[in-house]
Amino acid sequence: MRQLISLLSRVNRAVSELGVGLACLFLVMMTAAVLLQVVSREMRAPIGWTEEVALASMVWVTFLIGPWAYRHHQFTRIDVALEAMSPRTRMITNLLIHLFEAVLLVGAIYYSWRFFSGGNSLLPQTTRLLRNLVTPLIGADAAGDLVVKNKYVYVILPVGFTGLLLVSAEHLLRSLRTLATGREEIRNFDLDGSARTPEADIGDTPARPGRED
C-alpha cells in the first residue's frame, strides 16, 4: 500500500500543480474579459463575446483548481463532530466519508460526460468572433462552417471530476492505512493556504494518535 500511495501522491501532485498553472491563465483571461466588458459598456459599445469568455473561464478555473484544493484540504468543512469522536471512531468515519465521496465522484463523471456529449448549443458571440478572425485566413465559406459549442466549455467537467476522483482515491488509501496502523497523520491547516503534508514523502509524514482528515 505504501508504494501505491506514493505513486498516486506523485501523480496527484503533478496533475494538481498543472491545474493550478492553467487555472491562473484562465483567471487572467476571465479578468481581462470582465474589464473589457465594463469599459465597452461604459463607452456605449458593448462587446458581446466578453461575457461568454468570462463565464467559460470561470468554469475552467473552478474545475482546474478543484483537485489541488481537495488534495490540500482547502474545501470548506465542518469537523466539530469528527473532532469530538474517539480516534478509532474518527478513523472509521473518515474512511466512510472518503468512500462516499469516491462514489459520488464516479457518478459525477458519468453524468458530466453525458452532459458534455449531448451539448450541441452554440456560443453565438464567440462563434461570430472566431469567424471574423479567421475569415481573412481561410475565406468566408470555410469560416462559416466554424462553430464554438457549449460542449467545448463543459468538457472540463468530466476532466475535473476525474482529477478529484484521483485525489479521493489517495485520501481513501491514506485512511485505510491509518485504520490499519492506528496512527493518524498531522496536517497543517494554516489560513494562508499551506497544507504541506500531501507534498511530503510518505515516510516523512509526522503522525500521532488522534487526527486524520
CA distance 29 to 21: 13
Residue 187, pLDDT score? 52
At 45-72, the pLDDT tens digits run: 888 899 999 999 999 999 999 999 999 8
- Closest to 84 measured CA to CA, from 93, 96, 97: 93
Beta strands in the chain (DSSP E): 184-185, 207-208
pLDDT surpasses 60 at 82: yes
At 109-153, the pLDDT tens digits run: 999 998 888 777 888 888 888 888 888 888 888 888 888 888 888
CA distance 90 to 85: 6
At 164-195, the pLDDT tens digits run: 999 999 999 998 988 888 777 655 444 444 44
Better-predicted residue by pLDDT, 144 or 107:
107
Whole-model pTM above 0.85? no
Averaged confidence pLDDT in the chain = 83
- Crossing angle (nearest 10°) for helices 156-181 and 87-118: 160
- Closest to 95 measured CA to CA, from 38, 166, 182, 178: 178
CB 158 within 8 A of CB 60: no
Domain boundaries, the chain: 2-185
pLDDT surpasses 80 at 200: no
Q: Which residues pair with 78 in a beta bridge?
A: none
